[in-house]
Structure 1
Amino acid sequence: MAGLVDFTQPTLYLSAATILFNPTFWNFVARTEYHNKTLTKLAGGNALYGCYGLAVTIFLLGLIRDAVYERALRQQPSHPAMLGFVPQALAVGLVASGNVLVLSSMWALGITGTYLGDYFGILMDEMVTGFPFNVTDAPMYWGSTLSFLGTALWYGKPAGVLLTVLVYTAYRIALTFEDPFTAEIYAKRERERRDAPKKKA
C-alpha cells in the first residue's frame, strides 16, 4: 500500500478530514436546528431562510471538499493499471452517472428537500418515489461516491480509491443516523394528522 499511496502528503489527511467533517457537520447542525431552532432564530424566526443559509453553507463546504480532494490526488502517485482508455472511459461513465443521480435528486426534492428542510419543519407533501429514488434510496450520497471514484480513475490515483472508500463509509454511517430520524419526523406528522380530527371533536 505504501507504494501506491504517499502517506507523507498532508493533503491526503486534509482531504480525509473534509470528507469526514461535512456529513458530521450537517447532521449536528440539522439536529441542533430541529431541537433548538438555532438557525431559524438566527434568520429572524424564518425557517425557510434558515434552511437556505444551511444549504449555501453545505454547498460551499462541498466545493471546498472537492477542491481539496482534487489537490490531494495531484500530489499522489499514479498507477499504470489505472491509466489508459478503459479506466478513463470508466471514469467518465462513473462521474456522469454520479452527477445524474445528484442533480436529478436535487430536482426532485427542491432546495429544502435536498438540504434538510424537514429538520426545519419544512416537510414535503409526500415521499418522492420516482427517479432517482427508484434506483437508490440515497442518490445524493451514492452519486457523490461514484463521482469520487470516477475522479480517482480519471487521474489514475490509488489514493483516490482509498479516499472513496472513506466517502462511502462516512455516508453509510451518516445514513444510519439520518434515515431513522427523518422517518420519525414524518411519522410524527402523520400521528398529528390522525389526532387532529379527534381534538376538533
Structure 2
Amino acid sequence: MSFLQSYTHLVDFSQKSLLLSACAIAFNPTAWNIVARKEYRTRFLTKFFGSGQAACYFLAISIFSLGLVRDFLYERALRAQPSHQLLEGTIPTFAGYALLACGNILVISSTWQLGITGTFLGDYCGILMDDIVTGFPFNITNAPMYYGSTMSFLGTALLYGKPAGILITAEVLLVYLIAIQYENPFTAGIYAKREQERAKAGGKKVEEKKEL
C-alpha cells in the first residue's frame, strides 16, 4: 500500500480541487511579492497608472480578488473531501468559530491600523508610513494578517470537519512563514533607505547653515 493510499480515508489526494486549492495558496503571496518588488525597482505600475497611489490601489484590488478566488477554491476542495468523526461535534464547531472570530479580528484590526496603502504594499509603490505601527494587533505579532488568515483556514477546516483542511492550513502557514522571511527584511530595507536619505538631507542643511 502506497503512502497516499494509506491516508485516503483522511485525505482524498485524487481530487483535483485539492491540488487547485494548494496551488492557489502558494501562488498568491509569490505573485504579489514578485510584482511588488518589480514595482519598487522599476515603478512600472506607477508609470502605467500615473501615480503610486493608483498603483497601490491596483495591487489592493488584485490581491483582494486573488484572495477571494483562493477562498472559493479552498471551500470547494473541502466539500469534496472526506470528513472525520473527531472533527465533528460541539467542541470542534465552537473551536472553529472561535478561530474564525480571532482570525478576522487580527486581519480587520491590522487593516484598520495600516489603512489600504499600508496593508497592500504601498511602501513598494513609494507610499511610506510616517511611523512604525505598534498598537494592537502589532503588539501581539508582526504579521497579524498572515496569522489571522491561517487561523481562519483552520477554523473553516474544523467547521467542515475535514482533515484535508488541516493539511491545507499547514501549507498556508508554511507559505506565509516563507513570505515573512522575504518580506520583512525587504520592507525594513525600504524604510532604512528613507532614513539614510533623511540623514543626508539633514546633514546638507546643517552644512548650508554653517556656510551662511
Which deviations, in whole Å up to 9, do the C-alpha atoms of 1:72-92 show, x marking residues without a partner?
000000000000000000000
Is 1:23 the equivalent of 2:11?
A: no
Give the corresponding residue for 1:107: 112
Q: Please state whether the residue corresponding to 2:141 is helix, strand or coil.
A: coil
C-alpha distance in 1 between matches for 2:48 and 2:79 = 40
Give the corresponding residue for 1:63: 68
Is 1:174 the equivalent of 2:158?
A: no
Q: 1:13 offset after TM fit, Å?
A: 0.2
Misfit runs of 4+, over 4 Å: none
Give the TM-score normalised by structure 2: 0.93
C-alpha distance in 2 between matches for 1:161 and 1:119 = 33
Give the TM-score normalised by structure 1: 0.98
Structure 2: where are the runs of 5+ without partners? Answer: 1-6, 208-212
Letter of the aligned partner of 1:37 in structure 2? R
Is 1:52 the equivalent of 2:57?
A: yes
C-alpha distance in 1 between matches for 2:52 and 2:126 = 8
Q: 1:38 offset after TM fit, Å?
A: 1.1
Give the corresponding residue for 1:130: 135
Q: 1:10 aligns with which of 6, 16, 28?
A: 16
Q: Identity of aligned pairs, percent?
A: 61
Letter of the aligned partner of 1:130 in structure 2? G
Is 1:72 the equivalent of 2:105?
A: no
Q: 1:197 offset after TM fit, Å?
A: 1.9
Could you say which structure has the larger radius of gyration?
2
C-alpha distance in 2 between matches for 1:105 and 1:147 = 15
Structure 1: where are the runs of 5+ without partners? Answer: none
Q: Please state whether the residue corresponding to 1:129 is helix, strand or coil.
A: coil
- The alignment yields a C-alpha RMSD, in angstroms, of 0.6
Q: 1:2 offset after TM fit, Å?
A: 2.3
C-alpha distance in 2 between matches for 1:31 and 1:49 = 16
